[in-house]
Amino acid sequence: MQKELLDKIMKPKAIAVVGASTKEHTIGSDIMKRLQEYKFNGKIYPVNPKGGIIEGLQAYTNVNEIPGEVDLAIIVVNAKFVLDTIDQCHQKGIKGLCIITAGFKETGKEGAELEKQLLEKVRSYGMRCVGPNCLGVVNTLPEVRMDGCFAESLPERGHIGFVSQSGALGGGILNILKDLNLGFAQFISIGNQADVNAETALEYWENDDDVQQILLYMESIQNPANFRKLASRITKKKPVLALKAGRSAAGASAASSHTGSLAGADKAANALLNQSGVIREYSLKNLFATAKVFANCPIPKGDRVAIITNSGGPGIMATDAVCEYGMQMAKISDATKEKLRSFLPSAASVKNPIDMIASAPIEHYKQTLETVIADENVDMIMVIYLPFLGLKDIDVARAVMEIKAQYPQKPVIGVFMTKNEFFTKLSDMDVNMPFFMYAEEAADGFNRLNQQRLWQARPEGKIPCYDVDRAKAARIIKQSIDEGRAQLTTRESIDVLDAYGIRVCKSGFATNIDEVVTVGNSIGYPVVMKMTSKTTSHKTDVGGVRVNIQSEEQLREEYNDLIVKLTEKGLIDGLEGVIIQEMVKGNREMVCGIATDPQYGPMMMFGLGGVFIEVMKDVTFRIAPLTDVDAAEMIKSVKAYKLLEGARGTTPAQMEQIQETLLRLSQLVADFKFIDELDINPLLISEKTGEGIAVDGRIKVRLEEAKAAIADCCTCGGACV
């Protein structure tokens, strides 16, 4: 990362504005004004070919004419002059660049080539660069005071680090900070992120005490693996909130497996953020509502919420909202109840929610909050106010904040169901707690605080390495590749799963009626018969799966009927044979799978399977490789988890064995990176043992990639992949 170089951009002692201008309402003019109006603590050197005086400062015709040392060059010249400007900056010894100029890869092929040359220069000169095509950079630290962007309003001081891929969006946000009751420590508009990107900023702010939470607006994640590594570490220290735009599932419809068809770019992004401990928001409103909560609340010690209200109805609605998020309503101690009864009227309720009734004066708000905040059974407190009996909302807010200042150790959120003018007044005050209009917003804030608490307490997790027969799996895959088949047959797929220690049905392969009977008799009835074909992947669509075969006679009949049906449909030539499997009894069908996202890589899926998979879509995704904690969370996160626990007297599923199945699949795709799609559907939960048993499997590889990796490994059978 080279923190020292990024300091040149974010904590410069001297700035050259290359393209500074005297012409009003130009970027070169606005940048100069913002730097001066915000009282930048260092030196400012305007650079303009005409020289002269710009904003009261001597302008230089060339960067190299500047008499003193310069840390940062903010470049706003035409795109065609940017490369020459970088050369001049290198000659001057400038190591930090912020290129606001547009006209690079966002404009097409020529612009992309220009940006490529730009990056080559930056790297060869040992520089760091924000942009191009960006809004600029801001640091509100009193020792720096740099407003190096052209947003309309000056920055508000705070402790948020904000990265925006969109310059216009970032500028709009900077303009409304006061209304949001928020302030930033640092702001970076990364633009085309040719060099500095969101990951760079994350790492830079990791140990910066002035940045207490990090906000990200992203349209893409350039290096998902590196982002996961960094974010997983940083979110243990401070909250990271992300608004990830671009939620389309483009390309998913082309996938042939269930996992692939249910996957999509946004599911991959969501899985990545989830595994990294990043709190994802889906709107700017929610992003900044959550940021306001983290800016004014400590991380709670638990999830027990107390509600203080002067009206019963909102208290009940608030209770519903808290419970819907899975948090607990705090059990108020007897001592606390007794103290509350000592000053509240007899009509008040001292149970949680604590209803002080409509006549509650300001003093009751103060006494009740002070009493409840001291209760060890309470982790978070919601204070609800509705306008009654001439109380002024802003006076109540001041009183509540006065108590909060005395007891800063617990989160307190105000819900003031009053006029908008109240929130306008708050924007001119130094607040120490967040205020919202509705209880649901406050409950959402508590949920985010609790989410961060749980993440910080979450164990790191380990990626196990199982003893598997990798060479056998490689030989099976190589056979398919040698025949030019990207899609492995059912038999090959199951054999690969078996080689990786995944529990599959007892089975045998047969190519004629005599072999069918021999295999069936050796396994014991009832059995299942499945066709395996090199040309037909979805067996059930053509009647290729026959279940609950109870005898040798029935097995003969089913096999003969299958041959007739395939012949009639013109599918007989692709038939490789049939697999005879033990008939596992169980009504709970799950699904495990792998789909490959072109940017994020292999995604693991788990959920409700069988015929319900496409309809119910009760599935969850994680990016491979999985840790044991990831796998356990996947299983618990689906609604069907209650079925696995043993609903209505059914045998509880072997959770650890199912977890191991997911981890073995993760190891499989790590060993054979060219696996494109994989489905185990169903993973049938045995009513007898609770095991998750793979009764069907489909594997598809990226053929050309697989050939390059494995086809020539003749001596080792592909085990060297």
Where do the DSSP E strands lie in 550-608? 575-582, 588-597, 601-608
Report the alpha-carbon distance of residue 563 to residue 218 in Å, rounded: 55
Question: Residues 570, 574, 576, 579: is their CA dihedral positive or negative?
Answer: negative
Is the N-terminal amide bond of 132 cis, ω within 30° of 0?
A: yes
Residue 546 vs residues 128, 409, 534, 582: alpha-carbon distances, Å: 64, 64, 19, 12
- Do 532 and 578 meet the contact criterion of CB atoms below 8 Å apart? yes
Phi and psi based region of residue 145 (left: phi greater than 0; alpha: psi -120 to 50; beta: remaining): left
β-bridge partners, 509: 579
pLDDT of 259: 47
The pair of structure tokens assigned to 280 is 């994802």
Q: Output the CA angle 136-281-446, nearest 5 degrees.
A: 120
β-bridge partners, 183: none
* Average pLDDT value for residue range 127-136: 96
pLDDT of 588: 92
Q: Is 217 helix (H, G, I), strand (E, B) or coil?
A: strand
pLDDT of 715: 42
- Burial class, 515, CB count within 10 angstroms (exposed 0-12 / middle 13-18 / buried 19+): middle
Report the alpha-carbon distance of residue 614 to residue 376 in Å, rounded: 47
- Do 160 and 185 meet the contact criterion of CB atoms below 8 Å apart? yes
For residue 173, name the pLDDT band (cuts at 50, 70, 90): confident
The answer to whether the 298-457 and 470-582 domains have the same CATH topology is no
* Average pLDDT value for residue range 520-545: 86
Report the alpha-carbon distance of residue 531 to residue 652 in Å, rounded: 31
> Which of 216-225, 292-301, 335-344, 706-715 is predicted least confidently?
706-715
CATH architecture of 3-211: 3-Layer(aba) Sandwich (3.40)
* Average pLDDT value for residue range 253-277: 71
Report the alpha-carbon distance of residue 671 to residue 628 in Å, rounded: 18
Q: Which residue has the tokens 């059974």?
A: 377
CA 251 to chain centre: 20
pLDDT of 181: 85
pLDDT of 713: 55
> Which of 259-268, 585-594, 685-694 is predicted least confidently?
259-268
Q: Is 366 helix (H, G, I), strand (E, B) or coil?
A: helix
3-state SS, 230-277, equals HHHHHCCCCCEEEEECCCCCCCHHHCCCHHHHHCCHHHHHHHHHHHCC
CA 470 to chain centre: 32
pLDDT value at 489 more than 70: yes
DSSP state of 647: G
CA 641 to chain centre: 22
* Average pLDDT value for residue range 683-701: 93
Q: Is 138 helix (H, G, I), strand (E, B) or coil?
A: strand
Report the alpha-carbon distance of residue 466 to residue 663 in Å, rounded: 9
Report the alpha-carbon distance of residue 667 to residue 592 in Å, rounded: 14
Residue 72 vs residues 55, 63, 355: alpha-carbon distances, Å: 19, 11, 58
pLDDT of 132: 97
pLDDT of 247: 61
Mark out the alpha helices in 54-197 (DSSP H runs): 82-92, 109-124, 167-175, 177-180
Nearest to 672 by CA among 467, 488, 498, 477: 477
Q: Which CATH homologous superfamily contains domain 470-582?
A: ATP-grasp fold, A domain (3.30.1490.20)
Q: What is the pLDDT of residues 407-444, one digit of tens each?
A: 999 999 999 999 999 999 998 899 999 999 999 999 99
Q: How many CB atoms lie within 10 A of CB 147?
A: 25
pLDDT of 496: 97
* Residues with Cβ within 8 Å of residue 82, at least 6 apart in sequence: 75, 99, 101, 114, 118, 132
Phi and psi based region of residue 379 (left: phi greater than 0; alpha: psi -120 to 50; beta: remaining): alpha
The pair of structure tokens assigned to 86 is 């970088």
Report the alpha-carbon distance of residue 74 to residue 27 in Å, rounded: 11
Q: What is the pLDDT of residues 196-250, one digit of tens each?
A: 999 999 999 999 999 999 999 988 888 999 999 999 999 999 999 999 887 654 4
pLDDT value at 585 more than 90: no
pLDDT of 711: 57
The domains of the chain are located at 3-211, 298-457, 470-582, 588-711
Position 400, amino acid: V
Q: Output the CA angle 503-504-507, nearest 5 degrees.
A: 145
pLDDT of 574: 84
pLDDT of 220: 82
pLDDT value at 582 more than 50: yes
Q: What is the pLDDT of residues 281-295, one digit of tens each?
A: 999 999 999 999 999
Share of the chain above pLDDT 70, in %: 95
* Average pLDDT value for residue range 304-333: 97
Per the document, the length of the chain is: 721
The pair of structure tokens assigned to 443 is 């409950």
Q: Is 35 helix (H, G, I), strand (E, B) or coil?
A: helix
> Which of 165-169, 394-398, 577-581 is predicted least confidently?
165-169
pLDDT of 238: 98
Phi and psi based region of residue 328 (left: phi greater than 0; alpha: psi -120 to 50; beta: remaining): beta
* Average pLDDT value for residue range 610-627: 85
Q: Is 325 helix (H, G, I), strand (E, B) or coil?
A: coil
To the nearest 10 degrees (0 to 180), the angle between helices 167-175 and 284-296 is 50
Report the alpha-carbon distance of residue 694 to residue 679 in Å, rounded: 10
Report the alpha-carbon distance of residue 493 to residue 485 in Å, rounded: 13
Report the alpha-carbon distance of residue 354 to residue 368 in Å, rounded: 9
* Residues with Cβ within 8 Å of residue 369, at least 6 apart in sequence: 308, 381, 383, 400, 403, 404, 412
Position 551, amino acid: S
- Do 18 and 47 meet the contact criterion of CB atoms below 8 Å apart? yes
Report the alpha-carbon distance of residue 92 to residue 70 in Å, rounded: 8
β-bridge partners, 118: none
pLDDT of 344: 97
Report the alpha-carbon distance of residue 420 to residue 299 in Å, rounded: 29
pLDDT of 251: 39
Position 322, amino acid: V
Average pLDDT, the chain: 92
* Average pLDDT value for residue range 319-344: 98
Among the four given CATH numbers 3.40.190.10, 3.40.50.410, 2.102.10.10, 3.40.50.261, the one describing domain 298-457: 3.40.50.261
**Which carries the bigger pLDDT value, residue 86 or residue 573?**
86
* Average pLDDT value for residue range 567-594: 90
pLDDT value at 253 more than 70: no
CATH architecture of 588-711: 2-Layer Sandwich (3.30)
Report the alpha-carbon distance of residue 466 to residue 661 in Å, rounded: 11
CA 74 to chain centre: 32
The pair of structure tokens assigned to 436 is 């919202």
Q: Is 290 helix (H, G, I), strand (E, B) or coil?
A: helix
Residue 393 vs residues 384, 422, 505: alpha-carbon distances, Å: 11, 7, 68
Nearest to 577 by CA among 678, 507, 504, 526: 507
DSSP state of 487: B
* Average pLDDT value for residue range 690-705: 94
CA 582 to chain centre: 41
